[in-house]
Amino acid sequence: MTTRLYLRPTAFVDAPFGLDGRCLRLAGGLVWFAAVEAIRVENGRRVATELVPVDRLDTLGADAAPILARLTAPRPPLILGARVLRFDQPQVMAILNMTPDSFSDGGRHAAPEEAAAAAIAMAAEGAAIIDIGGESTRPGAPPVWQDDEIARTVPVIERLAAAGIALSIDTRKAAVMAAAMAAGAHVVNDVSALTWDAEALALVAAAGCPVVLMHHQGTPETMQQAPRYGDALIEVYDWLAARIAACEAAGIARTRILVDPGIGFGKTLAHNLALVNGLALLHGLGCPIVLGASRKRTIGALSNEAPVEKRLGGSIAFALAGAAQGAQWLRVHDVPETVQALRIWRGLRDQALTPPAAL
């Protein structure tokens, strides 16, 4: 029987000063950890869990070495047109939905000129990249014809590309990906992790563009009917690892891949919370992490069924939980509020990382 090892960074410390050999930097970012939760899994079930200090990691055996290398390796920056996006601190990925039926802001941006102006404002407010979508993937949403999706997104992408803004296209369809990239999009963000369209994997490989692989269970039409996992965190990790392997086999370099646990995409409240609590485990995949929990149903479930427009506080809480575990991109609706929260978080980190002698 094969036992697999997983390492979740934990015991986060404010700064590495005076802790030589007793803490490690997480993915080249602003977070240091002093221990790992070593999880051993057989047949999909956890059979042992141990909290291991960093200075005792050699006791975990040879299986730990490649995982630790991926946990600590800095993520190479992405060159997106005129922009360079680094992964040494959390950045905001702003949502721009060109849809009439998205769960949060459907129908808000009807005209390309208005949508482009809104995106330019979000970039000015601190968004590092704008994620543009023309098909709602909320639970129960029906598919959109690809030509309609192209018509909704391409005119906006063309305007924003001309303004020098970093852009991603949020789509499952190869034809939409191709049209968006031709118009100036830099990144493909696929909620199906390049599984929905048989042509998508080869297209992204040939384009050489970065891609966000998001975990999902089921389709938007069915995903929330009865999602089930034996161990949500481990199963999401394994599924993403398999998708990364498939992308690498197709010619997509791991340095061009980002991963997203897919909060709300085929998950219950308990699954979503387990994934956020254990988010740092995903750094073991060796890819930057995208966390998209903004205004999600989980926030309403934990706050007296608060409607979408009353979920800002919960969205900020999830964003900061992600930042504290080293998530590199936070996909959000509320840009200035999230940017402000991250600036406070960054200020706290900068102060903690100032050597005491310099104070």
For residue 108, the model assigns a pLDDT of 63
Tell me which residues are annotated as active site: 296, 331
Q: Within this chain, do residues 224 and 85 fall inside the same structural domain, yes or no?
A: yes
Q: Within this chain, do residues 177 and 296 fall inside the same structural domain, yes or no?
A: yes
Q: Average model confidence (pLDDT) for the chain?
A: 94
For residue 138, the model assigns a pLDDT of 74
Q: How far apart are CA 285 and CA 206, in angstroms?
A: 23
Q: How many C-beta atoms lie closer than 10 Å to residue 176's C-beta?
A: 28
* pLDDT tens profile 10-49: 999 999 999 999 999 999 999 999 999 999 999 989 999 9
Write down which residue in 18, 45, 72 finishes a domain: 72
Q: Within this chain, do residues 42 and 147 fall inside the same structural domain, yes or no?
A: no
Q: Within this chain, do residues 257 and 126 fall inside the same structural domain, yes or no?
A: yes
Of 177, 220, 183, give the one whose Cα is nearest residue 200. 177
Biggest CA-to-CA distance, the chain: 62
Q: Which domain holds residue 330?
A: 78-348
Q: Which residues of 289-315 are buried (b: 16+ CB within 10 A; e: fewer)?
A: bbbbbbbbbbbbeeeeebeeeebbebb
**Confidence (pTM):** 0.95
Q: Within this chain, do residues 28 and 88 fall inside the same structural domain, yes or no?
A: no
Tell me how many domains the chain contains. 2
For residue 100, the model assigns a pLDDT of 76
Q: Residue range 259-267: average pLDDT? A: 96
For residue 99, the model assigns a pLDDT of 84
Write down which residue in 53, 72, 91 finishes a domain: 72
Q: Within this chain, do residues 60 and 188 fall inside the same structural domain, yes or no?
A: no
Q: How far apart are CA 263 and CA 102, in angstroms?
A: 16
Is 343 a domain residue?
Answer: yes
Decide if 94 contacts 122 (C-beta within 8 A). yes
349 — pLDDT class (breaks 50, 70, 90): very high
CATH classification at residue 281: 3.20.20.20
Q: Within this chain, do residues 198 and 337 fall inside the same structural domain, yes or no?
A: yes
Within 8 A by CB and 6+ apart from 140, the residues are: 220, 221, 224
For residue 266, the model assigns a pLDDT of 93
Q: How many C-beta atoms lie closer than 10 Å to residue 179's C-beta?
A: 21
Q: Within this chain, do residues 64 and 89 fall inside the same structural domain, yes or no?
A: no
Q: Within this chain, do residues 55 and 172 fall inside the same structural domain, yes or no?
A: no
325 — pLDDT class (breaks 50, 70, 90): very high
pLDDT top residue among 6 and 225: 6
Q: Within this chain, do residues 59 and 187 fall inside the same structural domain, yes or no?
A: no
Is 203 a domain residue?
Answer: yes
Q: How far apart are CA 217 and CA 229, in angstroms?
A: 10
Q: Within this chain, do residues 199 and 51 fall inside the same structural domain, yes or no?
A: no
111 — pLDDT class (breaks 50, 70, 90): confident
Pairing of strands 45-53, 32-42: antiparallel
For residue 9, the model assigns a pLDDT of 98
